Structure 1
Amino acid sequence: MGLLASCFTNHIVYGENQSPMGQSHLLKMQAFKASLVRHDSAPSPSPSNTSPSPQPQEGDGSTSTRVYHVTSYGADPTGKTDSTDAIIAAMSAAFEGPKQGFLMEGIANLGGARIDLQGGHYLVSRPLRFPATGAGNVVIHGGTLRASDDFPTGGYLIDLSSSSSTNKSPQNNKTTVDAQLSSSSYNYEYITLKDLMLDSNYRGGAISVINSLRTSIDNCYITHFTTTGIQVQQGHETYIRNSFLGQHITAGGDPGERNFSGTAIVLAGNDNAVTDVVIFSAAVGIMVSGQANTLSGVHCYNKATGFGGTGIYLKLPGLTQTRIVNCYLDYTGIVAEDPVQLLISNSFFLGDAYVVLKSVNGVANGVNIVDNMFSGSGKGVEIVQLDQSKGPFKDIDQVVVDRNNVKGMKLRATVAKGAAQGNGTSWTVDFNGVLLFPNLIRDVQYSLSTNGGGFPNHVLRNSSANRVVIESNVAVPGSVSITVNQGVAIHEAS
């Protein structure tokens, strides 16, 4: 447009002394130039002399652009005055705009309407709640929202919920998969929040997504929350990616880091994903209480483990169905209650960070903790630990802790190999220094080699208390090689 305008200017200068026919041509060119200038290209008036415009030309739904600039509704991009009503007015206008059919049944398609924060810094005194349910295909992007000093402490800066939403506690989420897949249970679909900085000002949380479908939170910086940075409750397929979350803005070494109180992300729904996200300050990095969620490329370095917190907490005993892959647990650990179908793989644990399997009803089934790296300080911290304060694990099946490489920490595994040599009738190998579960060996394989004159009869005599005893009927000089496995139950053939 700049080049085209320059061309018009040159034509105008050249044509000012031309014939009347040339002047007529000039007027037509000037009119054409004016038609190409954006309505909102002129600088916005200052907030002090701007009154809210309920239907600005560029966002009133009568044009095809469907871009709703919040300053056109009276928002103050300097952050000096409250912009709550103005931003809600822009959101309302977007939802009242033209529809293009439906997404899920009952979810109107708003055609990609964009609520543009225009790179401003806006003060917000109450949650920005979407004005209506049953709509989707909307984007909010490009600016900073900061909670005012009187913002409600239990609120969220952006609230994707409705008055009819069921506010269940994330720790007691009992919604069934069938109910979540019912279109009538969704408030919104395909809402995108991107390129935002959300400052909760130690007054509450940043984003709440309740009963929504296919929500995207991308490239957001969320800080100063005291409750939850991002809450996902019920709904389906919320994707959080390329974002940074921290209660305190720090890169480590800040004395205030010990004053954690918030949780960065809560996933209390199914089929969500957190990808390439950094959590640098929180009491709990990610709290998961819904099934079939994926965490990938997550870097937790809130150092909460050293101060009594947790990096990732899986609070859904009995049906975990969580995959944690390619993550970086940096001075933070993972806790899983009664894990059933849990994968922790290809991740790096630094600073004595470890995994805890916590017994609630004593169940551990279908757990794979494999191919990870653990690095510690040489204090003998175990890479995988059991919390059996509420009772021992007694239902253990298909648990594999293996192929992890360890430096400066104590190896724990469910598969181990050992050897013993001697001249006699008995060989004993003690696996307590390696095996994860106490007094549990499900499978033993061994071989006996001897360089004596004959080959004796031999047998597995005992495998209790994680000690394996092999005996022969005659004394011979020999060596025994033994492999044991804790995690696979021996089922009787039907």
Structure 2
Amino acid sequence: MPPFFSSLFSRTKHSNSGKKMARKRDGLLGWIISLAILGLLALLAAMQVDAGYPKLFAGIDDFRYSKASNQKPDHRQRLLHGLANLKASLDVATPPSSPQVEQGMRGGSRVYHAVDYGADPTGKNDSTSALLRAIDDAFKSPGDRTLMPGIADLGGAELHLDGGSYLISSPIKLPASKGGNFKIHSGSLLASDDFPTERFLIELWASPSSEAEVEAEAEKDVDASMAASNTDYDYEYITIRDLLLKANFRCGGIAVVNSLRTTINNCYITHFKTTGIWVRGGHETYISDSYLGQHITAGNHPDEKNFSGTGIKLMGNDNAVTDVVIFSAETGVLVTGQANILTGVHCYNKATGWGGTGIYLKLPGLTQTRIVNCYLDFNSIVSEDPMQLTVSNCYFLGGGNIVLKSVNGKMSGVNIVDNMFSGGGNGVDIVRLDESNGAFTKIEQVVVHRNNVDGMRLRTTVAKASVQGNGSVWTVDFSPVLLFRDRIEHVQYTLRTGSAFPNHALRNVSENKVVIESDIAVSASVDVSVDQSVGSSISIN
């Protein structure tokens, strides 16, 4: 055999021999893997028998080697088959979960559902006693935690009205036992025909009497009354939200008395006889995103002249009214407390022309109130003896204006700036002094400035004007625009002439007229600015 063929034949023999050895190794390896898998599956099957799970080897006969057919098993097929059976054995039905625990008393939750106590969500039957029982349960403190001293922490307990409408014949009143961290929400309360007058649908009021009696007592000694209410709190962190309250023209909406950090949010309060929301004493009641009106209207109500009642009364300190609409009442907001703020309030209650008032600040000499970004829609703001009052960035429509009313003749620290006034051209002053009870005799630091006016008469404490002429006397009359009569605290002027260099001086400012005089007659322009706002108490050393 030629060497080439001999070499080729030798390599072929070696190659065939190597392939046979490889097949033997593969077969042996396959048997080892198969036996390992079968052992694992047998072990798993033995472990699962007692647990009642399905067996894994339903097709075990398919794994056996058949000598009759002389057919070798494919270890890869056996492996895939075993894994498939293993997966099927693990797809065991998940045991059904236990029923979800219901909320409310039945589940041990601190959410107390009105319907669980037998309240009628259709409003056909009286639900007063049922709602009061729910509140009594909610006021059972879950532990010994407290908020302010003596006020139990109720752990976030809730009276949930479940979207129902509930007829009540007496106030839904919080217990006299002091408590906090509690919420009432999500439903409607309707006053019955025999609901007691001078009371409220919801009362945070430990010792209720009547609104009129409390206010009469407070007027006897304002200082003592306010001091007592600001140190003795009955409730703290109470939230009232997402409610419709209909008072049936018999009572008020919500009373908040001696309560600390109370929130009233997203409430619609209507058909009140007296007051929509009454805040007496306490501290930091925040009222927001709510609507109040004695009559349900969107304006132009045929009986508007006869509107009565007050949308909100703030007879306490450090409260806030934000983004609230008062669409019908004689008075929109009445403030008799200090350091309150009103923001984004829209008043279109009884028009000022018919005797209504948008915002009334009735605390002479102790105002300390900020009114910002509000909309007085045919309504006015009235402030008695204002002291530290800011009205800014507000819009007054339909002749609505600001009235500064003299009680003791004092006014100090007033800023009325950057507002818009729009009227019907009837000569209404944007800011008016009411001196029917006596003139203002002490006026300090009052700034009325940078307001824009359309169809009303501008009044300001800062003004500028120019006159031109040929002579020796120039007179600028500021009386048509200045707020205070015969009062100019500060004057600046410039005399411009090109023909001479005269001596000149300020000669007179009486009756709000500025008189400039030169020693010789010249042709000149005189520019004058005046300011009424510099108070006599301001001095520079």
TM-score for both structures, normalised by structure 1: 0.87
Alignment of 1:426 with 2:511, yes or no, is no
Distance 1:177 1:247, change over 3 A: closer
Give the fraction of aligned pairs with identical amino acids, expressed as a percent: 59
1:460 aligns with 2:506: yes
Partner of residue 253 from structure 2, selected from 191, 206, 209: 206
**Matching residue of 2:98:** 33
The 3-state SS of whatever aligns with 2:129 is: helix
Alignment of 1:125-274 (within 5 A): 125-163=169-207, 168-169=214-215, 172=219, 173-175=222-224, 179-182=228-231, 185-274=232-321
Q: Distance in 2 between matches of 1:291 and 1:492?
A: 28
The Cα shift of 1:20 comes to 11
Aligned-partner residue type, residue 57 of structure 1: R
1:355-394 superposed matches below 5 A: 355-394=402-441
Aligned partners of 1:489 and 1:165: how far apart in 2? 45
CA distance in 1, matches of 2:245, 2:184: 12
Whether the 8 Å CA contact 1:297–1:327 is kept in 2: the answer is yes
Q: Indicate yes or no: 2:102 matched with 1:57.
A: no
Q: 2:71 maps to which residue?
A: none
Name the CA distance, whole Å, in 1 between partners of 2:144 and 2:52.
47
Q: Which one-letter code corresponds to 1:393 in the other structure?
A: F
Distance 1:353 1:426, change over 3 A: same
Deviation by residue 1:344-374 (Cα, 9 ceiling, x = unmatched): 0011111111000001011110000000111
| Contact 2:428 2:456 (8 Å CA) reproduced | yes
Distance in 2 between residues matched to 1:133 and 1:259, nearest whole Å: 41
Distance 1:366 1:467 in 2: 25
Q: In the TM superposition, what is the alpha-carbon distance from 1:26 to its structure 2 partner?
A: 10
Structure 1 contact 284–304 (Cα < 8 Å) conserved? no
Cα distance in 1 for residues equivalent to 2:126 and 2:92: 47
SS, match of residue 95 in structure 2: helix
2:528 to 473, 479, 482: 482
Amino acid of the residue matched to residue 179 of structure 2?
Answer: A
Q: Does 1:293 align with 2:358?
A: no
Deviation at 1:100, TM superposition (A): 5.3
Question: How far apart, in 1, do the equivalents of 2:184 and 2:118 lie?
Answer: 17
Deviation at 1:21, TM superposition (A): 4.6
Distance in 2, matches of 1:432 and 1:291, equals 34
In 2, Cα distance between equivalents of 1:468 and 1:247? 51
Aligned to 1:407: 454
User: Does the residue aligned with 2:214 lie in a helix, a strand or coil?
Assistant: coil
Residues 114-133 of structure 1: pairs in structure 2 closer than 5 A? 114-133=158-177
Shift of 1:124: 0.8
Task: Indicate the RMSD between aligned Cα atoms, in angstroms.
Answer: 2.2
Could you tell me which runs of 5 or more consecutive residues in structure 1 were left unpaired when the two chains were aligned.
Answer: 1-18, 41-55
1:33 is paired with a residue whose SS is: coil
How far off its partner does 1:163 sit? 1.9
The one-letter amino acid of 2:95's match is: M
- Does the CA-based 8 Å contact 1:95-1:132 persist in structure 2? no
Aligned counterpart, 1:345: 392
Point out the more displaced range, 120-129 or 253-262. 253-262
The alpha-carbon deviation at position 96 of structure 1 amounts to 1.4
Amino acid at match of 1:204: C
Distance 1:234 1:165 in 2: 15
> Offset at 1:301?
1.2
Task: Give the secondary structure class of the aligned counterpart of 1:264.
Answer: strand
Q: Distance in 2 between matches of 1:26 and 1:128?
A: 54
1:99 equivalent in alignment to 2:143: yes
- 1:13 is matched with none
Q: Distance in 2 between matches of 1:95 and 1:26?
A: 48
1:7 equivalent in structure 2:
none
Structure whose residues are more often helix by fraction = 2
Secondary structure at the residue paired with 1:86? helix
Q: Secondary structure at the match of 1:265?
A: strand
Higher mean C-alpha displacement, 341-350 vs 375-384: 375-384
- Tell me which moved more, 69-78 or 333-342: 69-78
Aligned-partner Cα distance in 2 for 1:333–1:112: 41
Matched letter for residue 509 of structure 2: S
**Would the aligned equivalents of 2:168 and 2:191 in 1 still touch at CA under 8 Å?**
yes
Instruction: For structure 2, list consecutive stretches of 5 or more residues without a partner in the other structure.
Output: 1-49, 55-90
1:450 aligns with 2:497: yes
State the shift of 1:191 in Å.
0.4
CA contact (8 A) 2:230 2:281 kept: no
**Any idea what the Cα deviations from partners look like across 1:437-462, whole Å, max 9, x if unmatched?**
1111111111111122x211111111
Q: Does 1:306 align with 2:350?
A: no
CA distance in 2, matches of 1:328, 1:134: 38
Partner of 1:51: none
More deviation, 483-492/321-330: 483-492
Amino acid at match of 1:357: L
Counterpart-to-counterpart distance in 2, 1:335 and 1:269: 18
After TM superposition, the score normalised by the length of structure 2 is: 0.80
1:354 aligns with 2:354: no
Tell me the amino acid that sits aligned with residue 122 of structure 1.
Answer: Y
Give the partner amino acid of 1:469: V
- Report the Cα distance in structure 2 between the residues aligned to 1:415 and 1:100, rounded to whole angstroms: 60
1:330 is matched with 377
- Give distance in 1, aligned partners of 2:203 and 2:94: 50
- Cα deviation, residue 256, structure 1: 2.1
Partner of 1:52: none
| Shift in CA distance, 478/187, structure 1 to aligned 2, threshold 3 Å | same
SS in 2 for 1:255: coil
The whole-number CA distance in structure 1 between the counterparts of 2:224 and 2:422 is 39
Task: State yes or no: 1:67 paired with 2:67.
Answer: no
2:121 to 45, 57, 77: 77
**Which residue number in structure 1 is paired with residue 13 of structure 2?**
none
Residues 1:189 and 1:383: Cα distance change in structure 2 (over 3 Å):
same
Secondary structure of the corresponding residue to residue 169 of structure 1: helix
Partner Cα separation in structure 2 for residue 125 and residue 176 of structure 1: 31
* Deviations, residues 43-67 of structure 1 (Å, cap 9, x unaligned): xxxxxxxxxxxxx424xxxx2x201
* SS of alignment partner, residue 470 of structure 1: strand
| 3-state secondary structure, aligned to 1:29 | coil
The structure showing larger relative contact order (alpha-carbon pairs under 8 Å, at least 6 residues apart) is 1
Give the distance between the partners of 1:146 and 1:475, measured in 2 at CA: 81
Deviation at 1:307? 1.5
